[in-house]
Structure formats: structure tokens, C-alpha cells
Amino acid sequence: MQTKPIHNTPTYIPPPIRPSPPVHQTPSSTPPTKPRAISISTPNIPVAIPIPPTIEPDDSIAAYYDYQFLFMSQRSEATRPITLSTVEGVIPVDFPTGTYYLTGPGLLTDDHGSTVHPLDGHGYLRAFTFDNVTKNVKYMAKYIRTEAHVEEHDPETKKWKFTHRGPFSVLKGGKKVGNTKVMKNVANTSVLKWGGKLLCMWEGGEPYEIQAGTLDTIGQYNIMDAVDLEDHHDESRGGDVWEVAANILKPILYGVFKMPPRRLLSHYKVDSRRDRLLTVSCNAEDMLLPRSNFTFTEYDSNFKVVQKQNFRIPDHLMIHDWAFTDTHYIVFANRIKLDVLGSMAAVYGMSPMISALRVNPSKSTSPIYLIPRFPEKQKGKERDWRVPVEAPSQLWLLHVGNAFEVRHQHGNLDIQIQAAACSYQWFNFSKLFGYDWQKRKLDPAIMNVKGGTELLPHLVQVSIKLDSDYNCQECNVKPMKKWKKSSDFPTTNPAFSGKKNKYLYAATTLGSRKTLPCFPFDTVVKLDLDNDSAQTWSAGRRRFIGEPIFVPKGDGEDDGYLLVVEYAVSMNRCYLVILNPKRIGSDNALVARIEIPSHLNFPLGFHGFWAAN
């Protein structure tokens, strides 16, 4: 059985607003090419009213509706497994048994007129369990009962009232001055199953542990301080001016604003060769200081800490994703700076707290820090890792698909990183996903700019050549030659993570829709890196997709299946699609399309994880 939904349909109904040209705000520096938003009209109708499927797909009002569908709040839960229907194709006989977990924001609007940024939306965990015997797919979905969830949701009235601002949002009305409820651990960014534990992660604190069978919330899992090992490479310098500043900030951030002392990056890595989980955490006060402390921790398959190292980078950074190889941790220096005016507005609740920070495009290059993963194995060939490799282009790194190294006969080392990156001139903390806190709506025009191929998220390949003493001989950044369209969420077969890979998959767009040419994504691209070729599978007219996930079933790199959620906005439906990666580019790439009941339609997810049984 499934529980009775609170509402029969998901809702996202912002107040009627007169159409006006969207405004795109760029960083304070003058960019070489200012991005210009595409004009998309805001309808004077509640967007929960379906737009007929026959409507012209390039109509600006339909585009606005289609975009809102991706971020409609879902208040219902599937608290017990329900069997999903396969509406096209069949689940293959060799599809592995396991569960695809997907997390992301489930609730973005409350019952008091507040709309929050998707990054501040309450975490909603979805689980698709595949049974290889019955060939059924069971579906469950539950909210993660974080502290903020418990405070903001009334279980008796089923009403929601946001009281925490969240780093990216502004609430309607309520107490602004003196509202110190800023940090809001919503556990909505990524999910991981490791060492028998199912964890939902957020960028600002500890993950929440979930019971795998029921999706019930167990509570916060203390992962960052589980074991306190000796710091192998602690470069901290006590007594300097920034250490003094940190000591002043700590009681304010930890005591007044209730920020946890350390924040865990939501992106982890799995070293398949060593069967290790790799995580990164950093100090909360580093967001306001021109120095960054990173703790890299490695766990074995039983969640036992086997290595832990601290590093201090002398720069002001905001890191979301990172990379690793057999010998290095790799940190792309997404450089930021304090915004004094933005800080004042944020403190008084007049703008999101993230307004206190801006990107820092003062360098024309992109610093990349190569941090030694096993310093004791370098045998005296030490390079000062605090001096970054300077990539000869300016990019803001979003997500890493894979990284690996090739060691040559004389000890030279080549490092390759495949990633999605965008321009400093386009990236804006408070407007990600088109969030417009002043109008309390999501504006798709912010994610779609004219002539912005190099500005928007796109796939790049970074090549670094080191000599036998780890000195940099060459570094370059090149766009993927055969695919320059807007793209993100690069991924590969997880068995090849940290190894040389031939194939890379990503969510992308064909760019054929005039009003939404760049985002949301509607296509999966498969890149053959050896042959420099690209093949695609497109979801179709007025259909969009999320992050693709590779499910391995054999030893071959493309031996398996791809899972991707499809949002058919014209039909008011969500589907889970199974693709055969070997057939991408042909007419029979789609293996099965599995339907989620319409009353359980869910918003766009962020990151997922395949857990084999």
C-alpha cells in the first residue's frame, strides 16, 4: 500500500506577476562579453494549470510553465513500496538487482508565501529498487527528517512555514533583522551508500543517515570527526593575522548563527581500485577568509578511516566538486571575495546570505592545486603544492566526470581531468537555477543567455604534464571538440573512476528550443574520447532530463545501462528511463520507460547513487 497523499497534485503557484523583461545580474567586474538573457514571459495564471501538449513549444509562456514543472513542490510521500508500470519497452533480463537513490529538493514553497532557492529546498529521497527475479521496480519517496524539517512542518495540520532563511534564500515577511536562522541542513544534494550506511549529504554540515529499507531518518551521522588521526601534512600557521580573524569569527558563526565548525563537501569520490571512499571537509569560517583549510579523509569498505590529511590553501575559495588520481587530490580554485554591501544587506535579511560573497575574476588564469595524496611515497621529490598550476583560461568548475594519470617510462606524469565548467562572468551564487528572490519565482531566462556557449556550463578536458620531480611542464584547458553545447553532470562507469576512461556521459541540450536553448537539459550525450566523437539520445519534445547514472553489469566500460529521470512536462509525468549506452546514437537506445504515478511527480533531483545488491 501507499500512504494517502496530502495533496493530489504537486503545487508550485507563485503570485501572479505582470510580464517584465528578466534581469541578469553579473559579478561586479566588467566581463569581456556581457551575457544577455532570452526574453521569457511570466504568465498571469497559476503555473499548476497544465499547458496543453499541442501548444507551440517555443512559446515563451509555455516555456515558463515547463520550467516551473521541474521545481514544483511535492508534499506527498510514498512511505511503502509501490510497483511502477513500464509503459514502453521492457526491463532487460540482465539488469542488475539494486537500488537507484536520488536526492534533491522536494519542497520549495511553504503555506505563508515564501519560495526558497532550490539549494535550500527540503531534502526528498527517492528510491527505485530493481528486482532481477520479478523484473519489477518498486518506488519509495520520503522527506529527510532534518532538524529544520521538524521545526518547519506541522504534522497535524500538514502545513509548512519556513523559519530558516537558508544561505541562498529570502523569506516573505517575518523577522528579518536579527534572524540568525541562516544555516539550514536540508540533506538535499547527494546520496551515498557505503559501509552499510545510507547517507544524504548537504554542503554545509554533517550528512543524515537513512534506514535503507524504510527510508526513515535515523539522524545526523558524525562522519567528519569519527576518528582523529595525526595530520600528515598540516600547513597551518598559528598566530598570523588570519588566524586571529578566524578566532574572532568562530564564536559568531558557531554561537550566533549556529553554523557547524566544519562543512562536508557533498561530492565524494570512490577509488574503485583500492575500494575506498574519499571525502573532503573544510572550516566554516573559511568562507569569509582568504585562506582555505581542507581535510581529505579516506575510508575502507567498512567505513574505517585509513588516512586523514589536512591542507591549507592560501586563497579564498568556494569548492563544490574536486578530483583525485592515484597520487594526487586535485582542487580547482573557484576564487571568491567578500562583498561588503552584500554582507550588510544579507545580515539585515534584505538579500540572501550568499550575497556576502562574489566570484573573484581578478586572475585571467585558473589555479589548480595538486595536493599529494601519499606524500611519503614521493621519495624526496616534493613540489610545493601551495603553488598552483595555472591553467591558461578562466573557468569556474562545477562538476568532475573523471580524472586519471598516466606515468611514463622516465617518471613523467600526465594528468587528465574531464569536467563541466562555466565562466566567472555568468556564474552568480544567488541566481543559480534561475532563482529570483526579489520576485519569489524561478526565472528560466537566467539559465539561458544568447551567444553564451563559452559562458554557460560546458564540458572541458584539462591536461597537466609533470616531470619526474612533479614540476609542471604544461597545462591546458580545451572544450570537448565534438560537443560544445551547454552540458553538465558528467559521469562515467564507476568501475573506471580514477582510471583511464574512453567514454564520458553527460546531460546536455540540442539547443533546438528557442526559448529554452541551454537549460533544462533534454539530451544524454556519449563522448568517445579516443575517437573524438559524440552520440546522443534525446528525450523529445517538451521533455527534459536530470543527471544520468551508469549501472555496470560487466567488465566492459560501456557494458551496463544508463538511468535518467525524464520530466515530460506536456504530459504532467515523471519517468525513469533505462538506456543502453552501446546504442546511444541509434533509434533503439531506449530500453524501458517506467512511469511514476502523476500524484507522486517530483521536482528535479540533484545527484544520485546506484547501490548494487
Residue 358 clears pLDDT 60, i.e. is over it = yes
Residue 20 clears pLDDT 90, i.e. is over it = no
Residue 521 C-alpha cell reads as 537539459
433: left (phi over 0), alpha (psi -120 to 50) or beta: left
Structure confidence at residue 95 (pLDDT):
96
Exposure pattern of 118-144 as b/e (b: 16+ CB <10 Å)? Answer: bbbbbbbbbbbbbeeeeebbbbbbbbb
User: Which of 145, 144, 142, 140 is CA-nearest to residue 129?
Assistant: 140
Task: Give dist(CA 357, CA 360) in Å, integer.
Answer: 9
Structure confidence at residue 224 (pLDDT):
82
Each residue's pLDDT tens digit, 240-263:
776 766 776 666 666 666 777 788
Whether residue 67 contacts residue 106, with contact meaning beta carbons closer than 8 Å, is answered with no
Residue 471 clears pLDDT 70, i.e. is over it = yes
Average pLDDT, the chain: 86
Each residue's pLDDT tens digit, 521-546:
999 999 999 998 999 999 998 999 99
More reliable by pLDDT, 379 or 19: 379
Each residue's pLDDT tens digit, 107-137:
999 999 999 999 999 999 999 999 988 889 9
pTM: 0.89
Whether residue 210 contacts residue 101, with contact meaning beta carbons closer than 8 Å, is answered with no
Q: List the domain boundaries for the chain.
A: 36-612
Angle value at C-alpha 416, between 411 and 419, nearest 5 degrees: 160
Lowest-confidence range among 145-154, 170-179, 387-396, 553-562?
A: 170-179
Percent of the chain with pLDDT over 90: 63
| Ligand-binding site membership of 267 (annotated) | no
Structure confidence at residue 267 (pLDDT):
97
Task: Give dist(CA 168, CA 520) in Å, integer.
Answer: 20
Each residue's pLDDT tens digit, 553-586:
999 999 999 999 999 998 899 999 999 999 999 9
| Ligand-binding site membership of 328 (annotated) | no
| Ligand-binding site membership of 399 (annotated) | yes
User: Which of 602, 597, 590 is CA-nearest to residue 562?
Assistant: 590
Whether residue 496 contacts residue 490, with contact meaning beta carbons closer than 8 Å, is answered with no
Structure confidence at residue 480 (pLDDT):
83
Task: Give dist(CA 381, CA 339) in Å, integer.
Answer: 40
SS3 letters for 513-545? CCCCCCCCCCEEEEEECCCCEEEEEECCCCEEE
Which residue(s) pair with 562 in the sheet?
A: 550, 579
Structure confidence at residue 231 (pLDDT):
46
Q: 192: helix, coil or strand?
A: strand
Each residue's pLDDT tens digit, 427-450:
998 899 999 888 878 999 889 987
What are the DSSP calls for 120-154, one per residue? GSEEEEEEEEE-TTT--EEEEEEE---HHHHHHEE
Which residue(s) pair with 295 in the sheet?
A: 281, 310
Whether residue 33 contacts residue 9, with contact meaning beta carbons closer than 8 Å, is answered with no
Task: Give dist(CA 96, CA 86) in Å, integer.
Answer: 17
More reliable by pLDDT, 95 or 26: 95
Residue 406 C-alpha cell reads as 598516466
Residue 174 clears pLDDT 60, i.e. is over it = no
The dihedrals phi and psi of 425, each to the nearest 5 degrees, come to -70, -20
